[in-house]
Amino acid sequence: MSLAQDYRKAMSQAGTPQFQEVIRQELEYSMKVELDKILATAPQNELEHTKKDLEGFKKLFHRFLQEKGPSVDWGKIQRPPEDSIQPYEKIRARGLPVNITSVLNKLVVVKLNGGLGTSMGCKGPKSLIGVRNENTFLDLTVQQIEHLNKTYNTDVPLVLMNSFNTDEDTKKILQKYSHSRVKIYTFNQSRYPRINKESLLPIAKDVSYSGENTEAWYPPGHGDIYSSFYNSGLLDTLIGEGKEYIFVSNIDNLGATVDLYILNHLMNPPNGKCCEFVMEVTNKTRADVKGGTLTQYDNKLRLVEIAQVPKAHVDEFKSVSKFKIFNTNNLWISLPAIKRLQEQNAIDMEIIVNPKTLDGGLNVIQLETAVGAAVKSFENSLGINVPRSRFLPVKTTSDLLLVMSNLYSLNAGSLTMSEKREFPTVPLVKLGSSFTKVQDYLSRFESIPDMLELDHLTVSGDVTFGKNVALKVCMRMRLTWVK
């Protein structure tokens, strides 16, 4: 029997606590031996960075071995106190200060830029996919911040958290923004080794991530932002420049723009108490039932994800009537608080165990964390229930069709719902498998249809759209040609 098999047996009811601890220690020692071998292959110029990555991975692996079963006790979950989730209207009603420029000068915009466009059939960083008038996600982000800086004569920088998958291509494209009025910084999230599911040991044999080692490494989720930001030295640099808050969001969420009212609430708290962490939440619809929700747990705000919920309570978790909001992953976080908690090793995030099957059929696991899970580690954390318009992610070509259509108008990099749309909600669009890849999707539209009066669209089969098509109310299509 292998050590990993011993571990699984020990962690079942069959193992005594002493036996479990012995097996855990042996697994950790075996992991350390393998990681030391990998570290020994690092070139001198990568040694320090690789060492920090592997140290971070060891800590995560240690916690993984310690944890068992669902990470939340369902009986402890409570509705958050009313004042812990504020309606956006209340925040907005406070208005804006006269000195909005000085408030903005304390802000940094951080975009999570570690993902590839593979799910949409594209190579390279997802942020470089064209989404509107040939503008990419990154183009729109830079335009938004440049408009802010010009309008208020301020200096809000953009920080991109890249991964080893996206860093090189992103840095090449950044040259095009050299004359824009936005300072752009980058740092890389960690690179962790994938673990063989059977042996619980890394599949990587050296530090390279090309050739045979391409699939041996992974970026460990956006929860890695705290340690990577700190380790990069950029956190200290920005604090030294007088920056106080970061606004963090996914780069593919086109609704995640800087909100001056939320920023003012942070910089000028009504009760005088500094709020270290704000999570933007919005009301759930049937499409969002799997989204993480804010709860009260052990007298702290806590983000609960569906993967943490005991199986017997999953349906309850999905209930829109009981859990009415979900996390948009638009977060406002205090820079000094990140520094303090990082130096105290006090940022607590649940581990997400992500199983994968590699191209050759090997089953591996990735240990990841989510940035929002740290909400419970910060002081005076707050949820703000924002309009749905601040959550406009583009995950599929169905989403892409919405943002490319006349449902939205584009101004200074920001998308806003057209005033001609009579309904406040976005149509539900489901494009079939023939539209999955961006290239195929684009080839099936001679022009983007008029969707102002559309409520629901389902397309399946070999469907193409001609010019000047108007889609209205509820439509299901299985045709070969639509005019």
As annotated, the binding site for UTP includes 126, 189, 221, 252, 395
Cross-strand bridge partners of residue 454: 473
The reply to whether 300 belongs to the active site is no
Give SS3 for 279: strand
Which candidate, 253, 238, 248, 247, places its Cα nearest to that of 267? Answer: 247
Measured between its terminal Cα atoms, the distance across the chain in Å is 65
Q: How many residues does the chain have?
A: 483
Among 9, 205, 324, 395, which one carries the catalytic annotation?
Answer: 395
**Phi, psi at residue 303, to the nearest 5°?**
-85, 125
Cα–Cα distance, 86 to 89 (Å, whole number): 8
Cross-strand bridge partners of residue 247: 109, 332
Q: H or E segment at 39?
A: helix 17-39
Tokens for 269, please give them.
Answer: 């708290």
Bind-site residues for substrate: 222
User: CA dihedral in degrees (367, 295, 328, 146; nearest 10)?
Assistant: -100
* SS3 annotation, 366-417: EEECCHHHHHHHCCCCEEEECCHHHCCECCCHHHHHHHHCCCEEEECCEEEE
Residues annotated as part of the active site:
395
